Amino acid sequence: MKLVFATHNDHKLKEVQQLLPKSIALLSLKDIKCFDEIPETGATLEENAKIKADYVTKTYGLDCFSDDTGLLVDALNGQPGVYSARYAGEQKSAKDNMAKLLTELKGANNRSAYFKTVVHLNLQGESYTFEGVVEGEITINAHGNGGFGYDPIFKPNGFDKTFGELPADTKNAISHRGRAIQKLVGFLKKKAS
């Protein structure tokens, strides 16, 4: 089975490739010669994931899935949420985003937050949605160089290390994206059998 993953993010692509069975040939946007910046104009993670998958399916006629992920911080009323990637501006700098978030949480007692990933799949003319959530807290400082995005400042519940410090296989097993992709993989395995 061939599936396009609608992302230009090489970190995400690598993370998802590690989670998919070898029977699924994962194509990137580069592989299909799609260099367009697909606009994420949705008001929710679900809408953005659907927009990206629909763009690829309609433009290229290919089965496709895409995801959108947000970090939702309780003390900030769920922000940055759908704007997580461009929280500190359109340059989409992870370093700037983390700095802004840590500044806004300075002195906050409640540092609880959760990551949410929504995966939208277009397969053989049908659409499906899968969701993954991981709860945790925002640390006071960044720790670790692993992962990407907010990983160095997010410590999942039950762990004493941030996503930036955890080994990739541990993170993938418990992360929001890992959980959503596991649901996608389970669904695809059922479809294939």
Q: What is the pLDDT of residues 34-80, one digit of tens each?
A: 998 898 899 999 999 999 999 999 999 999 999 999 999 999 999 99
User: How many residues in the chain?
Assistant: 193
Q: 101-113, pLDDT tens digit by residue?
A: 999 999 999 999 9
**Residue that is written with structure tokens 């692993």 in the block:** 146
**pLDDT tens column, 156-181:** 999 999 999 999 889 988 999 999 99
Rg (CA), the chain: 17
| Domain 2-192 in this protein, CATH class | alpha beta
The first and second tokens of residue 185, run together, are 């993989």
Tell me which of 10, 68, 96, 151 is the catalytic residue: 68
68 belongs to the catalytic site: yes
Question: What is the model's pLDDT at position 19?
Answer: 80
Percent of the chain exceeding pLDDT 90 equals 77
More confident call, 147 vs 6: 6
d(CA 81, CA 186): 27
Computed over every residue of the chain, the mean pLDDT equals 93
Give the helix/strand (H/E) hosting 123.
Answer: strand 112-123
